[in-house]
A = this chain, B = another copy of it.
Amino acid sequence: DRPLALIAGPCQLESRQHALEMSRALKEVCARAGVGLVYKTSFDKANRTSLGAQRGLGLADSLPIFAEIRESLGIPVLTDVHAPEQCAPVAEAVDVLQIPAFLCRQTDLLVAAAATGAAVNVKKGQFLAPWDMKNVVDKIRGSGNDRILQTERGVSFGYNTLVSDMRALPIMARDSGVPVIFDATHSVQQPGGQGGSSGGQREFVEALARAAVAIGVAGVFVEVHQDPDKAPSDGPNMVPLKAFPALLETLVEFDRLAKARPFRLA
């Protein structure tokens, strides 16, 4: 049971300048807390609520920036892929390919991501039971790649609402033997909750993250932004950068206790 890792970063890759600043700031905070950091950012928001919403820098412009962060800061980079043909080029520039929740059942995407040999972090669909993630993980493993992470990010609960079923964490760990990440910022999303965009409940990020860490997870996924209310996407659920160090410190303490008294399903 290794100590908590963190997947963190702003939702979108907004610009080279922004990415370098955010990644440097997060690296510093995580180093001070003694926590391993994977820097997360998206080159394309492929499933925005509305057609006119800002999608990001795009693949071609983003790859050099990913590579620059990775090399200059010496931290692993994660980004999400949306189509099989993106997997190989993206895997050149980043360390972890992430499969979005809506796409977690798309066999071709899983197989293409697996084939790169990069680590794959697959998010659990909002429509999926925890025990169904075994089939998803098996698609990746069955394609010859064992470097797999799986991420819980809430399940549909009525309309425009997600709920975090904390039982999912030990179920997913037991069923597939693959490390489990808790995505504390998408779990508080309110999908479609603002009509033309998604809402969010940033005020619950810490509560849910504490809960997940107390049960025991390999890592926490948190989207962070220096000014969430001005972010082009996911603002309502991102954590402000200045609140991040205290949050991290708290989680590290709970993680220490949780790993000292591990909980596991038989």
Interface residues of A (CB under 8 A from B): 46-52, 55, 82-84, 102-103, 105-108, 111, 125-132, 135, 138-139, 142-143, 155-161, 163-167, 169-170, 191-192, 196, 201, 203-204, 206-208, 210-215, 250, 253-254, 257-258, 261, 263, 265-266
Using known A-B contacts A48-B107, A50-B138, A158-B159, determine if residue A211 contacts B215 with beta carbons closer than 8 Å.
Answer: yes
Least CB distance, A170 to chain B, in whole angstroms: 6
User: Bound state CA distance, A207 and B52, in angstroms?
Assistant: 34
Q: Which residues of B contact A107 (CB under 8 A)?
A: 46-48, 51, 55
Residue pair A261, B257 in contact (C-beta under 8 Å):
no
Q: Give the interface centre of A132, A143, A212 by most chain B CB atoms within 10 Å.
A: A132
Residue pair A106, B82 in contact (C-beta under 8 Å):
yes
Residue pair B167, A166 in contact (C-beta under 8 Å):
no
Residue pair B50, A211 in contact (C-beta under 8 Å):
no
Q: Which residues of B contact A214 (CB under 8 A)?
A: 210-211, 213-214, 254
